[in-house]
């Protein structure tokens, strides 16, 4: 008997969804930072075994009050994961006060599929905190399982995977068995650059940027084969362009170096990275831009 299913991870921003996804698949696929709203897309990662296929979805953290269209689009990715889940993982952490959008709560309650509540960051929590959260959430939703884990320290992650396999419905492989994700190498390269932007810049800057990889070419250099990558960093306003570039281009140079190293690790090849900054006023509210950047269909 072959088993397969969509296992969708949703929750508020910054609770550790992407950290869990990466721990489950054993790869650094989804980007992780200490800033909320790091993930902006629904990202699929597939575990293929002879007897089963698990299709995980990492999703953007649900934003209670979206301020611009990109945030609404991010919410739509998260909500789409409520619609096709065979198993739903709702993730919280012990650092935030329990809160949930009533609409999301209603959708979760109505789901007939198995539901798992994961209380993350147990490495920085007390047993008392975990018990209080567990009882607050049990009053809201009839979860099939409540598990406390540390995605960061890989504690309890194997147990989650076993639980998932035990609930996985019978079914065929939905993706070819050698497929690992639904996103392209270019997508992950742009994510790595965005991760470095999130790490290096402050306040509104990372939230105003989009990264588009437009060239990805094999090239011969004196030191051997390498990949020539050109990417545009799109910003919302002119003043943000000079912040990204920095004095004497020092900021963008440092961003380029960090990003290149991380990309080389990810694709396991030498990389020549070229970054350009472009201004596209208010792109986060512009349907055409959002469409071309993959936020709207």
Ligand X SMILES: Nc1nc2c(ncn2[C@@H]2O[C@H](COP(=O)(O)OP(=O)(O)OP(=O)(O)O)[C@@H](O)[C@H]2O)c(=O)[nH]1
Q: Quick one: which of 34, 99, 110, 127 contacts ligand X (CB under 6 A)?
A: 34
As beta bridge partners, residue 49 has: 52
Q: Could you tell which of Mg ion, ligand X, none binds residue 124, using a CB distance below 5 to 8 A set by kind?
A: ligand X
CA 233 to chain centre: 19
Minimum CB separation from Mg ion for residue 286, in Å? 24
Q: Interface residues for ligand X in 129-188 (CB under 6 A)?
A: 150-152
Q: Could you tell which of ligand X, Mg ion, none binds residue 151, using a CB distance below 5 to 8 A set by kind?
A: ligand X
> Distance between CA 58 and CA 78 in Å, rounded?
9
Write out the E strands in the chain: 3-11, 43-49, 52-58, 87-93, 115-120, 145-148, 210-221, 224-235, 271-279
Does 61 engage in binding with ligand X (CB under 6 A)?
A: yes
Angle between helices 250-267 and 185-200 (to 10 degrees): 140
Q: Quick one: which of 13, 114, 156, 206 contacts ligand X (CB under 6 A)?
A: 13
Q: Give the residue with the Cβ less far from ligand X, 96 or 286.
A: 96
Does 18 engage in binding with Mg ion (CB under 5 A)?
A: yes
Q: Quick one: which of 8, 22, 39, 53 contacts Mg ion (CB under 5 A)?
A: 39
Rounded to 5 degrees, φ, ψ at 222 are -60, -30
Handedness of CA 282, 288, 292, 296 (dihedral sign): positive
Q: Could you tell which of ligand X, Mg ion, none binds residue 36, using a CB distance below 5 to 8 A set by kind?
A: ligand X
Reduced to 3 states (helix: H, G, I; strand: E, B; else coil), residue 253 is helix
Residues in touch with ligand X (CB under 6 A): 13-19, 32-34, 36-39, 60-61, 120-121, 123-124, 150-152
Residues in touch with Mg ion (CB under 5 A): 17-18, 38-39
């Amino acid at each position: 008997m072959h088993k397969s299913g969509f296992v969708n991870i949703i929750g508020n921003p910054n609770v550790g969804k992407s950290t869990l996804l990466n721990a489950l698949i054993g790869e650094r696929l989804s980007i992780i930072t200490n800033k909320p709203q790091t993930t902006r897309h629904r990202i699929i990662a597939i575990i293929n075994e002879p007897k089963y296929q698990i299709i995980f979805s990492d999703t953007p953290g649900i934003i209670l009050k979206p301020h611009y269209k990109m945030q609404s689009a991010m919410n739509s990715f998260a909500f789409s994961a409520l619609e096709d889940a065979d198993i739903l993982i709702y993730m919280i952490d012990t650092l935030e006060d329990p809160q949930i959008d009533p609409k999301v709560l209603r959708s979760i309650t109505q789901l007939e599929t198995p539901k798992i509540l994961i209380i993350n960051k147990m490495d920085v929590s007390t047993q008392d905190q975990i018990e209080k959260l567990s009882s607050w959430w049990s009053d809201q939703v009839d979860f099939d399982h409540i598990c406390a884990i540390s995605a960061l320290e890989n504690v309890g992650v194997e147990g989650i995977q076993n639980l998932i396999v035990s609930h996985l419905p019978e079914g065929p492989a939905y993706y070819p068995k050698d497929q690992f994700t639904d996103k392209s190498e270019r997508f992950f390269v742009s994510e790595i650059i965005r991760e470095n932007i999130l790490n290096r810049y402050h306040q509104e800057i990372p939230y105003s940027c989009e990264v588009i990889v437009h060239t990805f070419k094999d090239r011969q250099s004196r030191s051997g084969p390498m990949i020539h990558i050109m990417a545009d960093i799109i910003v919302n306003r002119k003043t943000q362009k000079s912040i990204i570039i920095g004095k004497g281009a020092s900021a963008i140079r440092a961003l380029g170096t960090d990003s290149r190293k991380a990309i080389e690790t990810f694709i396991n090849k030498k990389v020549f990275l070229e970054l350009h900054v472009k201004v596209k006023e208010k792109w986060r509210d512009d349907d055409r831009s959002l469409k071309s950047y993959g936020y709207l269909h």
